[in-house]
Amino acid sequence: MADEILMVEPFYGGSHRQLIDLLHSHFTESVKVTMTAKKWHWRARTSALHLSQEIPYSSNYRVLFASSVLNLAELVALRPDLSGLRKILYFHENQLVYPVQKKMQRDFQYPYNQILSCLVADKVVFNSQFNMDSFLSSINKTLKTIPDYRPKGLPEKIRPKCQVLYFPLDLPPREKFIHTHQNKPTFTSIDESRKEEEENSSCNPDVKTRTCLGDKFEDCGSKDVKCDMPVHSIEDGNPSDERSCPPDAKRRKTGPLHIVWAHRWEHDKDPETFFNALFQLQEAGLNFRVSVMGEQFTDNPEIFSVAKERLASHIVAWGYQEKKEDFYRILSEADVAVSTALHEFYGVSMLEAVYFGCYPLCPNRLVYPEIFPKTYLFNTPAQLLKKLKRMCTVPDETRRHSIQVPMDRYLWQNCAEDFYALFKVNQRQ
């Protein structure tokens, strides 16, 4: 079969690699051309020239799919034979609002490259609404950096090309990794998530299903919750029983709370806030276990070496898991997954953790309010610490909680049709 879809990834690692491999495996009429996931600054600056020399010539191509690390304008200029293809640009992240460390000036070239790429593309796809909105709303502000002859009307030119397609998760059956003492976790469906207060109380207009893990009690009911009785917290003074939450959501696990952090070991993920919370749990004499995973690079923030020493007696796993099976196994054994990110446009690892039954704790910013109900969000480090203290003190509450995240909308089997439509390919059975 002729290769009709050209897939290009200048930064072949992490979620970029996951997506390109997934799409390549399902679109058999595709060919992929990649570069290693190293020194992304140089990939953003120079990958177009290298790729223009590496991409095979073919008259069969009709679609070009690339991530926004690539300067698409440069590639098309260097390879005019690709200009007539349907050019699709996928944004895992955008450089217009990417956080800069300390007082370093933002390099204008990176966001400028992405703006040019959007002008050349036929379709611009973002992995979240937050990603798309933050990009489009920041174009004019970014262009004001130009001292004179500033272009006008670019958001209006780019917006009609844009759409949101959530990053598709292609995950194995949970049963393969969840131990026999843990039942399969349940999740709300798309239609049942984020119900208004009156809908949450439909089982009994006078009693609401509640979670006691936040600073305030939050409504978290859904049709998945068989709420013939309210869910009591220990603070209510009433003992929980099998009717207090769905039996199939109960995690029959004992022992200390297992906390997982699975993000890139870089400053924009704010590991300092996470580890400072754990240090305070330790100082308070609370019992917990921790697994710290995620990709590592040449220069890791110093806090990781400090934390590895200080938390040695609490550590279950430390470092990047080369095998996905090991990563999934650790997630299935953990109780809560934490993000403290200063930069996040989607958050694959947090959704993977939820899929395997982890209670998510995320900052109330960036993409997280789009994906996670407010029950799972914190506003300050103090709130994060308070939630973790409660969980460490009464870990069974966390394990019994029925996770209110609509996971089905992020799974490949439910996203596939959108990608087939994007590539204008009929889905094959």
pLDDT for 19: 98
Residue 316 pLDDT > 80: yes
Q: What mean pLDDT do residues 239-253 have?
A: 40
Average pLDDT, the chain: 84
Predicted confidence band at 251 (pLDDT cuts at 50, 70, 90)?
A: low
Residue 247 pLDDT > 80: no
Phi, psi of 226, deg, nearest 5: -80, 85
pLDDT for 238: 32
pLDDT 10s digits, 118-173? 999 999 999 999 999 999 999 999 999 999 999 999 999 999 999 999 999 999 99
Distance CA 181, CA 216 (A): 31
Instruction: Judge whether 359 and 213 are in contact, CB under 8 Å.
Output: yes
SS3 string of 326-378?
Answer: HHHHHHHHCCEEECCCCCCCCCHHHHHHHHCCCEEEEECCCCHHHHCCHHHEE
pLDDT for 295: 87
pLDDT for 105: 58
The 10 Å Cβ neighbour count of residue 182 is 18
pLDDT for 269: 95
Residue 347 pLDDT > 90: yes
Distance CA 90, CA 374 (A): 28
Structure-token pair, residue 178: 């969840």
pLDDT for 425: 79
Structure-token pair, residue 429: 């059975």
Distance CA 95, CA 106 (A): 9
Domains and CATH numbers, the chain: 4-170+414-423 (3.40.50.2000), 174-178+253-410 (3.40.50.2000)
pTM: 0.82
Q: What residues have CB less than 8 Å from 313, skipping those under 6 apart? A: none
pLDDT 10s digits, 369-423? 999 999 999 999 999 999 999 999 999 999 999 999 999 999 999 999 999 999 9
Of 339, 359, 366, the residue nearest 128 (C-alpha): 366
The CA-CA-CA angle for residues 325, 328, 332, to 5°, reads 135
